[in-house]
Amino acid sequence: MQQLTGINSIITQANNIVANVIPNIAQYVSLIFNGVSFFAAIIGVALLGRFGRKCVTLYGNVMLAICDIVIGILFIFQELEASGYIILVFLVIYSFVFGSSIGPIVWLYVP
C-alpha cells in the first residue's frame, strides 16, 4: 500500500511540479518537504500510539486519495493564477499526511 500511494513520484518530481506552477519557489521545495516530513513522523508516532494502526492507515489512505484528486483537478485548471499556490499547499499536505500515517506505520510494525 505504501508503494501505491505515489509518494516516490511526488518526492522525486516535487521540484519539477512546483517549477511549472511557481518558478520562484522551486528551489526551496526540497527543504520544505524535508521539514514537513520530519515533523509529520513525530506526529505520526503519537497518532499511532493513540488511535492504532488500522484507524491511522485508513485516515492516511483517504486523505492521500483526496489530495491526489485535488492536485489532478488543479492541474487541469492550471491557468488560474492562484492554482499554483494551492497545488503547493496540497503537495505539502500530501507529504504531511503520508509522513504522519502510512510512512511510519510500515517501519514501526515490520520489526
pTM of the model: 0.85
Between 91 and 1, where is the model more confident?
A: 91
CA 103 to CA 37: how far, in whole Å? 9
Q: What is the tally of structural domains in the chain?
A: 1
pLDDT-based confidence at residue 81 (cuts at 50, 70, 90): low
Q: Model confidence over 23-72: pLDDT tens digits?
A: 888 888 888 888 998 999 899 888 888 998 889 989 998 999 999 899 88
State which residues form the domain around 49.
3-109
Instruction: Of 21, 29, 32, give the one whose Cα is nearest residue 85.
Output: 21
CATH number at residue 49: 1.20.1250.20
Cite the DSSP H helix spans in 1-111: 7-21, 29-51, 53-76, 83-100, 102-109
What is the rounded average pLDDT of the residues 74-96? 83
Arithmetic mean of pLDDT over the chain: 85
